[in-house]
Amino acid sequence: MSKSREMRILWFLLLFLCEARSQGVSRPNFVLLVADDLGIGDPGCYGNKTLRTPGMDRLAQEGVKLTQHLAASPLCTPSRAAFMTGRYPVRSGMASAARVGVFIFSACSGGLPTSEVTFAKLLKNQGYSTALIGKWHLGNNCHNNADFCHHPLSHGFGYFYGLLGTNMRDCKPGDGTVFIGGIRVLAYTPLKVITITLLTLVALKHLGLLDVPPAVFFCLLFLAALILGLLLAFLHYFRPLNCFLIRDHEITQQPMSYDNLTQRLTRDAASFIRRNVDTPFLLVLSYLHVHTALYSSEEFAGKSKHGTYGDAVEEMDWSIGQILNVLDELRLSNNTLVYFTSDHGAHVEELNSKGEVHGGSNGIYKGGKSNNWEGGIRIPGIFRWPGVLQAGLEIDEPTSNMDVFPTVVKLAGSPLPEDRVIDGRDLMPLLQGRSQRSDHEFLFHYCNVYLNAVRWHPQNSSSIWKAFFFTPKFTPEGANGCFSTHLCFCYGQYITHHDPPLLFDISKDPRERNPLSPRTEPRFREIVATMQQAADLHTRALQAVPNQLSLGNILWKPWLQMCCSSSGLSCQCDREAQDERETL
Ligand SMILES: *[C@@H]1O[C@H](CO)[C@@H](O)[C@H](O)[C@H]1NC(C)=O
Ligand SMILES: *[C@@H]1O[C@H](CO)[C@@H](O)[C@H](O)[C@H]1NC(C)=O
């Protein structure tokens, strides 16, 4: 072999090694922090002056803050499905056609289909260590109580600790129930009717006006007892059957306790990071905060200026700070992309039984959770990656929580799936300032399965048009939400249709106060026609998929129920204390 040839081979080898090494170094870790029901008006870095959120503020100061970051849906389950898959929830069947738009029971058969590809799955294939800690809310079992077809471990997460369903008032003794409406219709009204009938019959019989056979009394009493029994059983068993903590496939606490819950989740997240100092990792820390039931540990209870809601926000913020400290301590900060967001806007209708506000603030924006006014979908969105993203940058282009999927997947060195539509767009060009424009010309805003509004950011224009095909009827009239029904619904008597659509220029009217008309906007018809056409194209290209939120898929199915004790219906155990001792 000639000397020069040898040299060339050596050079080649060296280059190859360097390339491989630099690729290894440039593949960052990911820490994705997701709040539940937090409004964009809550973090200090988004303008709140009275809630203390130093953790979130630090992220914004050291990273890039998005001011028009949008949830793919104003409800938990569909928004989280879109976040995990980078696709509109209708594409995976994770959008309801009826009133109930989220999973309520842990033992329901609906969930994120295994045919869907999450970013966790792709990262795991790339050698990433992957974990989800906290809330999932995308299903669990399909056919029996241990097939785990929709479980996080079946969707690319190598480790899971948390809650399969969602935090709810019914999970916390003394915090009331979210089923008041259902109880009124299914139990209270029938019981009232039966009682009145019984009393009337007794009176008539007593007065000798009517001869009522004893069997009638017996039947009515039996019916009343049955309804009452079912109601009491439901209220009694709901908590253990739905509110439990689970590690991988093993229940650790049933029912879950709120004592130091955030501390436990944070500690678990920190130890996952510590275990993976030498491996690229993906951590999704999906907080139970600040959905009701509100809770906080002794250290935070009563400390904020905004009641139990504010205490919960401040405790979550403390946890964010802890995670950032761990990254610093392990010298991982410069090699970790941290993202912070909420699943959708604050639930403004959420009041406790004493009328205390238990929902957050959507700042200047109208509406909130469960509707597509800006308050329902505009969410905090912060990306921090020191040395790669410019600290303190603010971007007002429309972006979506679906964009996290392609952004993360590309950075991890994985190709994007080619056999399906991915609606998210890689955010790195925008975040790094290489591009000034969002890749989203059109964004579609769904109310469950119904196309509610379209957003259009025309090229070479600063306008952000938003056209509503329908809007929710706020109740009582004039309110900033659907207080009479607690959430807004997406069809029938609950909405007002608009033809032509209700058009706003969000860039000039972010509060959505002044709908445009052909008189105030000379290009009105042209704009609306373009948006209508985009909506038609989008809708026509959708493929029919099984509805994961059909009645059959959201109902409680006893054979899917997980229970940590084999004896009877009690389902009670607490291995958390034991686990804690073992990790010490
Ligand atoms: C700050 O957050 C609290 C709690 O959500 C809210 O009551 C208050 O109105 C917010 N302040 C601003 C300026 O949005
Ligand atoms: C992290 O990156 C920042 C910004 O580039 C730099 O100032 C800092 O020294 C780096 N820290 C470490 C530990 O490398």
Cα 202 to Cα 132, 190, 208, 407: the distances in Å are: 60, 18, 10, 71
162: three-class secondary structure by DSSP:
strand
Within 8 A by CB and 6+ apart from 72, the residues are 78, 79, 82, 83, 88, 89, 400, 401, 402, 423, 446
Q: Which atom of ligand 1 is nearest to the CA of 310?
A: 4
Give 370 Cα–ligand 1 centroid separation in angstroms.
20
Within 8 A by CB and 6+ apart from 298, the residues are none
Domain 175-242: which CATH class?
A: mainly alpha
User: Does position 87 have pLDDT exceeding 50, yes or no?
Assistant: yes
List, for residues 423-432, the tens digit of each pLDDT value: 999 999 999 9
Residue 212's pLDDT is: 87
Residue 181's pLDDT is: 81
List, for residues 250-291, the tens digit of each pLDDT value: 999 999 999 999 999 999 999 999 999 999 999 999 999 999
Task: Give yes or no for residue 311 CB within 6 A of ligand 1.
Answer: no
Average pLDDT over residues 18-26: 46
List, for residues 186-230, the tens digit of each pLDDT value: 888 999 999 999 999 999 998 988 888 889 999 999 999 999 999
Best of 361, 364, 366 for a ligand 1 pocket test (most atoms within 8 Å of beta carbon): 361
Confidence of residue 581 (pLDDT cuts 50, 70, 90): low
Residue 355's pLDDT is: 86
Burial class (CB in 10 A: 0-12, 13-18, 19+), 435: middle
**To 10 degrees, what angle do helices 261-275 and 307-329 make?**
20
Ligand nearest to the CA of 359: 1
395: three-class secondary structure by DSSP:
strand
Quick one: three-class SS letters along 176-240? CCCCHHHHHHHHHHHHHHHHHHHHHHHHHHHCCCCCCCHHHHHHHHHHHHHHHHHHHHHHHHHHH
Query: Per CATH, is 26-168+245-440+545-560 categorized as 3.40.720.10?
Result: yes
Characterize the bridge pairing of strands 159-163 and 129-135: parallel
List, for residues 463-482, the tens digit of each pLDDT value: 999 999 999 999 999 999 99
pLDDT > 90 in the chain, percent: 86
List, for residues 485-528, the tens digit of each pLDDT value: 999 999 999 999 999 999 999 999 999 999 999 999 999 999 99
Quick one: three-class SS letters along 544-577? CCCCCCCHHHHCCCHHHCCCCCCCCCCCCEECHH
Judge contact between 150 and 140, C-beta under 8 A.
Answer: yes
List, for residues 90-104, the tens digit of each pLDDT value: 999 999 999 999 999
Write down the domain spans for the chain: 26-168+245-440+545-560, 175-242
Judge contact between 251 and 245, C-beta under 8 A.
Answer: yes
Residue 24's pLDDT is: 41
DSSP result, 268-317:
HHHHHHHHTTTS-EEEEEE--TTSSSP---TTTTTTSSSHHHHHHHHHHH
Average pLDDT over residues 380-392: 97
151 is annotated as an active-site residue:
no
Give 482 Cα–ligand 1 centroid separation in angstroms.
20
φ, ψ for residue 493 (rounded to 5)?
Answer: -70, -10
**Number of Cβ atoms within 10 Å of the Cβ of 533:** 12
Q: Mean pLDDT score of the chain, rounded to an integer?
A: 94
CA 309 remoteness from chain centre: 18
User: Does position 299 have pLDDT exceeding 50, yes or no?
Assistant: yes
Alpha carbon distance 132, 409 (integer Å) = 16
76 is annotated as an active-site residue:
yes
Q: Whose CA is nearest to atom 9 of ligand 1?
A: 361
Amino acid at 185: V
